[in-house]
Amino acid sequence: MNRTPPIEVRRFLRKEVNFGCPVDGCGNPYLEWHHFEPAWSVKNHHNPEGMIALCAEHHKKADAGAYTKDQLKSFKNNIQVDVQGKFDWLRNDLLVVVGGNFYYETPRVFEFKDKSIIWFNRDENGYLLLNLIMLSTSKEERAFIQDNFWMKRGNPSDLESPPSGKILKIQYDNNDFFRVEYYELRNFEDIKKRFPDVSPEYWQVKFPITAVEIHYKVGNTDIEFNPRSTKIGGMFMTNCFLSHCGCGISLN
């Protein structure tokens, strides 16, 4: 049996602790999985009743025996409210991939009714910082990203933020959704592996370069930036490269 739990078990364990490490005073969103009843060394299992989501620090402490079984069970009732995190990927140069299209030196990727929805600011060191607002037909609060800091809001159906700190995925019951991932592209070949239909040799981009890829959907609407294309109403875009634009896509 693989020690990594199935997707549905991981999703259950994250939501059980409201997507933050449940140890008192922690709330770290970068979660791992601890088997305690019984321990993995005693019996290989993925029974969520005998498991708990913990951050890496408290997972190691749990493995070392810092917490009793009763304490671990009680942690399951510690609901974290203010769950937040930060992307530490600070770069002066980024290739931005949104909805199957590529944006370079284009600070505002998507704006709606003259309001920036996906955009980047530069700090005093010239680093590009991600900002994202979730549009929604719901009146409930939604998560957001402000200058690389992200904050959980409302009641997500799932929030995934692995310990690597390079991926964040948040989804709500009405299908409002976004996913952010940072990764390195060493050369043209790396891009072609991920996106076989593009022609990066014609882009004026220096390699290696860090990419940030964003998928985004507004539930119950026709606004969708999926892994391969951008679909908004009757508009369809894919494999486009936009460079040095004030704004990539603007809807009024």
Distance of CA 55 to the CA centre of its chain: 17
The pLDDT score that the predictor gives to residue 130 is 99
**Is the model's pTM score more than 0.85?**
yes
Is the backbone peptide bond immediately before 5 cis, with ω within 30 degrees of 0? no
Q: What are the tokens at 79?
A: 């609901």
Burial label for 190, CB within 10 Å (0-12, 13-18, 19+), is middle
Rounded to whole angstroms, how far apart are CA atoms 10 and 6? 6
The pLDDT score that the predictor gives to residue 135 is 98
The pLDDT score that the predictor gives to residue 79 is 77
Burial label for 237, CB within 10 Å (0-12, 13-18, 19+), is middle
From first to last of its 252 residues, what are the pLDDT tens digits of the chain? 898 999 999 999 999 999 999 999 899 999 999 999 999 999 999 999 999 999 999 999 999 999 999 999 999 988 777 899 999 999 999 999 999 999 999 999 999 999 999 999 999 999 999 999 999 999 999 999 999 999 999 999 999 999 999 999 999 999 999 999 999 999 999 999 999 999 998 898 999 999 999 999 999 999 999 999 999 999 999 999 999 999 999 998
Find out whether 20 and 27 touch, Cβ atoms under 8 Å: yes
The pLDDT score that the predictor gives to residue 73 is 95
The 3-class secondary structure across 163-218, one letter per residue, is CCCCEEEEECCCCCEEEEEEEEECCHHHHHHHCCCCCHHHCCCCCCEEEEEEEEEC
Domain boundaries in the chain?
7-81, 85-251
Burial label for 226, CB within 10 Å (0-12, 13-18, 19+), is middle
The pLDDT score that the predictor gives to residue 78 is 86
The pLDDT score that the predictor gives to residue 23 is 95
Strand pairing of 101-104 and 230-232? unpaired
* Phi, psi (rounded to 5 degrees) for 131: -130, 140
Q: How many CB atoms lie within 10 A of CB 58?
A: 23
Residue 201's region, left for phi above 0, alpha for psi from -120 to 50, else beta, is alpha
Rounded to whole angstroms, how far apart are CA atoms 230 and 3? 37
Residue owning tokens 């022609």: 199
The pLDDT score that the predictor gives to residue 56 is 95
* Phi, psi (rounded to 5 degrees) for 112: -130, 120
The pLDDT score that the predictor gives to residue 173 is 97
Rounded to whole angstroms, how far apart are CA atoms 33 and 46? 10
The pLDDT score that the predictor gives to residue 9 is 97
